[in-house]
Amino acid sequence: MRRLVSPRFLLINPTDGPESEYGKLAAAATQLPQLGLAAIAAALQENGFSADICDAHVHGLDENSLLELIRQGNYGVVGFSVYVTTERRALAYAAAIKRTFPHVIVCAGGPQVTLVPARFHDSVIDYIFVGEADDSIVEFATALTHSSRPTGIVGVVDGSQPFPDEGVSPRLVNNIDNLPPIRLDRYYPLESFYPPVHVRGQKVVNVIGVRGCPYKCTFCAAAEINGRRVRAMAPGRFVDMLEYYISIEINSFIFYVDTFTLIKRRAQEICEEIIRRRLNIEWKCFTRVDTITAELLTIMRQSGCYCVMFGCETLNDKTLLAMKKGFSSQQCIDGIGMARRAGLVTLASIMVGLPEETESDIRNTVRLALASETSLAFFPVFEPYEGTPIYDLCRRTGKWVVDPRYSNALLKDQESVWVPDTMTRPRVEDMAKEAFRSFYFRPKTLFALGEVFARLPAARKARFIKAGLSYFLPHPRLRTRVGSRFH
């Protein structure tokens, strides 16, 4: 491997688009810039290194065009951000790069690498980055200017060396206020991205200001990837970021953090600062029903928030307890009602086919969702993530089967699907469809949809209609690929 004096970095999101994850509801889904890669690129550039980002779907990237891009750009390091949905694609790209350009250093990081690092160590990847790579990538780039084979960097594993017997702990950034600001327009063609269909505003970007999650939800890998210690950006700096985007004519935002109201005082200060600066913006966020108050929701609405998404997951108390969600079904219903009374659109996410749930449990969850005040709801088919606590429970309470009649609801490249012992796979998928139909084909929801629809730009309205037709009225021209959460 040759020595690099001034390495040029190409950072790649190897996604092939929302169809692979959302299937018949792909038109309703989102294609947003990946924030993690932008943070890495910003860290490299602040320290004097060249870094570009390529989104495989948006840039129409295939194997041949990737190789040509590397050749023309004379990149010395290519890094992949890998999710469970893009692992196979990333490894295929990496193999092609090593065949064609043996001297190019290929790296991989991201959620999937952090969860199962040993699997990437025994592959075509030269270096794997475990955890948050903002600091380690700079140390790695600096080391490359002195050595062709950097070693001893915390959070980085050399693929040519034995994998540590004790494993690798994710490296985390201590203070995210010390990181350079993320300017998505510097790395992505923002006009080529789009938000979910229910999101308002002509121009929308996703922003993040918190890392880490203290909760122990068994189905989620957030804490394993970003740690349990919460590190939050100062409210003033967060609003500075919003003002930057306003300066380039963006006034609609998705606050992309799992629980925006986790630190209530901080959330309130952000809202107060938006109001103090008289920023005319609209925004939506994600949060939990047990971290809100009527007063907080009111000031959120006053500062431009119009929609809150709640991860309810189920309205079965036994399952909520087993999943360690930390709240009850009644808290879900009460929290949704509180948000509606504050004038906010609410979106509840409820999974179908969870371990040990019966048909009766699912019907009861749907009944409670119908009785709640939520404006919108999603009912995705549950699939377990490798590396999460619930994955082991799924081994004991179900099985993975390979059958051409079924498609994996999360990973289109994975031939097997998980089937709970309590139901067949076709029944799980049918119950998800039934939940969607029963929720959306009723006057109450149609009225709520009308209110949402009226505030959308024309192009998003067209996607909204297409998504509904695709899901509820299958047509050959609207077919999607095998492998989606919404069949």
Spell out the residues 6+ positions from residue 240 whose beta carbon is closer than 8 angstroms to its own: 181
Of 289, 357, 348, the residue nearest 317 (C-alpha): 357
pLDDT digits (tens, 9 = 90+) for 420-458: 999 998 899 899 999 999 999 999 999 988 888 899 888
pLDDT of 253 over the 70 cut: yes
Domain extents for the chain? Answer: 8-158, 195-456
**50-55 β-sheet, strand order:** 50-55, 8-13, 77-81, 105-109, 127-129, 156-158
pTM passes above 0.85: yes
pLDDT of 128 over the 70 cut: yes
* Rounded distance between C-alpha atoms, residue 403 and residue 387, angstroms: 24
Q: Per-residue pLDDT averaged across 408-427, rounded?
A: 76
Q: Please give the CATH number for the structural domain made up of 195-456.
A: 3.80.30.20
User: Is the C-alpha dihedral spanning 322, 327, 331, 333 positive or negative?
Assistant: negative
Spell out the residues 6+ positions from residue 311 whose beta carbon is closer than 8 angstroms to its own: 258, 286, 288, 349
Give pLDDT, residue 440.
93
Q: Please give the CATH number for the structural domain made up of 8-158.
A: 3.40.50.2300
pLDDT digits (tens, 9 = 90+) for 279-309: 999 999 999 999 999 999 999 999 999 999 9
Q: Same CATH topology for 8-158 and 195-456?
A: no
